[in-house]
Each structure stands twice: as structure tokens, then as C-alpha cells.
């Protein structure tokens, strides 16, 4: 790990004049804490140098280690994002064998008093019923922001695309998601977790204020 990375990132945020940042990383299962302490150090330094910045983190599941999750959250984040990526049935096929659908839900359920976000990639062969059930599962653990997007095959070594969803289908899924209680939904073929992140965050804030 680059011990100076927290300073580098914090200064980069300041130099670019950012008011919203998304901090993420590759999985670091090679580290005892999955990189949680490093995540926390980056968050704290970014906050120290940029006190008014809104911070979103997109994290791995830390193998279900809630102490690691808590370490990240307690550093001072505004949005906690962790992706289930696909429906329950396809998780063993789509995701790393060390990950599980239930483990991701447990991580999201553990996080409290922070806006929560998750994403589902579509096109692996899931059914509409499975998509809706996944949405319900995410709402049950308190997820506020949902991102739906199309899986694109990076190369022939990866899983093939079973279905390309139309823009109209994404729109319909967006309507279903809102009907289930999500405060913000990004549902587009090329959307990814960080797409329109600030707009989604502000929408949740408005929704919360409107309900008070």
C-alpha cells in the first residue's frame, strides 16, 4: 500500500475543487482487514483537507467482516455503496466464489445512519421476477439508491451476454424500483455505480426532508 495515498487523494480533491467524491478500490482480500484501515485513512484525510466535501465509498464486502465495515463508516462517509451485482441464483456464476448474495445483504444491513446504495448488472440471464426480488431484498436492508445497468462482456474470456435490455425496459424497471420505495434510481444501459452520484445523493436528501 502507498502510505502517502491519503495525502495524494485529499490534495487532488482540493486542487480539482470537487464537492463530491467517490472513493473505491479493487478487492484487497490479500490484506487482513481487506483494506478497511487504508480506506478509513483516505476518508479522514480527504475530510480534513476538504471539510465540506460529500464522500461516497464503494467497497468490497470485506468477506463479511463487520468490524472492517464499521472502520470505514466511522471514518465519516455520507454514502456507503456496495454492489450485489446480480440476482441470488446467478451470484455463484457471476461473482467471485468468496462472495455471496447473503453476505452482501448482511453488509448493507449492518450499515446504519448513512445513505446506502447498490447496483445490479443486467444481462446474465436473470428473470424479471428475480430482478424485482433483488430490489425488494435491497429495500429490506435499507438501501436508498439503486443503479441498474447493462452487463457488457469485456472479452470472450468473460460470461456472454444473455440479453440486451432496451431503454424502455430500463425505464419500466426504474418505475418498479420507485414503487418499491427507493429514493433515487439510475436505470440506464450504460450507467455505472458512480454515474450521477451527486444527483442521486441530493435526491435522497430531498426525499428525507420531504418526509419529515
143 and 59 inside one domain:
no
Tell me the pLDDT tens digit for each residue of 154-182.
999 999 999 999 999 999 999 999 999 99
111 and 49 inside one domain:
no
Q: Above 80 in pLDDT, residue 52?
A: yes
Cell numbers 468468496 correspond to: 98
Q: Above 70 in pLDDT, residue 30?
A: no
Enter the pTM of the model: 0.94
Other Cβ atoms closer than 10 A to 160: 10
pLDDT of 179 reads: 98
- The residue among 74, 96, 131 that closes a domain is 74
Q: Which domain holds residue 42?
A: 1-74
pLDDT of 87 reads: 98
Q: What is the mean pLDDT of residues 25-50?
A: 82
Q: Above 70 in pLDDT, residue 212?
A: no
Cell numbers 440479453 correspond to: 163
Portion of the chain with pLDDT greater than 90, in percent: 83
What CATH number is attached to the domain comprising 191?
A: 3.30.750
pLDDT of 14 reads: 98
E-only strand ranges, the chain: 20-24, 54-58, 79-81, 115-122, 145-150, 184-187
24 and 126 inside one domain:
no
pLDDT of 1 reads: 64
Q: Above 80 in pLDDT, residue 31?
A: no
22 and 85 inside one domain:
no
Q: What is the mean pLDDT of residues 79-88?
A: 97
Tell me the pLDDT tens digit for each residue of 125-142.
999 999 999 999 999 999
Domains contained in the chain, number:
2
129 and 48 inside one domain:
no
What is the Cα–Cα distance from 158 to 164, expressed in whole angstroms?
Answer: 16
69 and 85 inside one domain:
no
68 and 89 inside one domain:
no
- The residue among 51, 74, 97 that closes a domain is 74
85 and 55 inside one domain:
no
Q: Are 13 and 19 in contact (CB under 8 A)?
A: no
What is the Cα–Cα distance from 194 to 83, expressed in whole angstroms?
Answer: 11
pLDDT of 160 reads: 96
Q: Hey, is 91 helix, strand or coil?
A: helix
- Of the two residues 1 and 198, the one the predictor is more confident about is 198
200 and 95 inside one domain:
yes
- The residue among 54, 74, 94 that closes a domain is 74
35 and 125 inside one domain:
no
pLDDT of 99 reads: 87
Query: What are the grid coordinates assigned to 191, written together?
Result: 450507467
Q: Above 90 in pLDDT, residue 33?
A: no
82 and 70 inside one domain:
no
Reported confidence tier of residue 26, pLDDT bands at 50, 70, 90: low
153 and 63 inside one domain:
no
Reported confidence tier of residue 3, pLDDT bands at 50, 70, 90: confident
Amino acid at each position: 500500500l502507498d502510505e502517502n495515498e491519503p495525502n495524494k487523494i485529499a490534495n487532488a480533491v482540493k486542487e480539482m475543487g470537487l464537492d463530491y467524491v467517490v472513493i473505491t478500490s479493487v478487492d484487497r482480500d490479500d490484506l487482513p482487514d481487506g483494506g478497511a484501515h487504508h480506506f478509513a485513512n483516505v476518508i479522514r484525510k480527504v475530510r480534513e483537507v476538504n471539510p465540506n466535501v460529500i464522500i461516497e465509498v464503494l467497497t468490497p464486502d470485506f468477506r463479511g467482516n463487520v468490524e472492517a465495515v464499521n472502520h470505514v463508516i466511522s471514518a465519516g462517509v455520507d454514502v456507503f455503496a456496495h454492489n450485489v451485482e446480480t440476482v441470488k441464483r446467478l451470484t455463484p456464476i457471476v461473482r467471485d466464489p468468496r462472495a455471496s448474495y447473503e453476505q452482501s445483504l448482511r453488509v448493507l444491513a449492518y450499515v446504519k445512519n448513512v445513505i446506502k446504495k447498490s447496483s445490479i448488472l443486467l444481462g446474465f440471464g436473470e428473470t424479471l421476477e428475480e430482478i424485482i426480488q433483488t430490489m425488494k431484498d435491497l429495500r429490506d436492508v435499507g438501501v436508498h439508491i439503486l443503479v441498474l445497468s447493462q452487463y457488457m462482456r469485456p472479452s470472450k474470456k468473460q460470461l456472454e451476454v444473455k440479453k440486451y435490455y432496451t431503454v424502455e425496459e430500463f425505464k419500466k424497471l426504474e418505475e418498479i424500483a420507485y414503487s418499491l420505495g427507493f429514493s433515487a434510481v439510475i436505470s440506464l444501459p450504460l450507467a455505472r455505480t458512480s454515474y450521477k452520484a451527486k444527483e442521486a445523493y441530493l435526491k435522497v436528501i430531498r426525499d428525507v426532508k420531504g418526509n419529515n
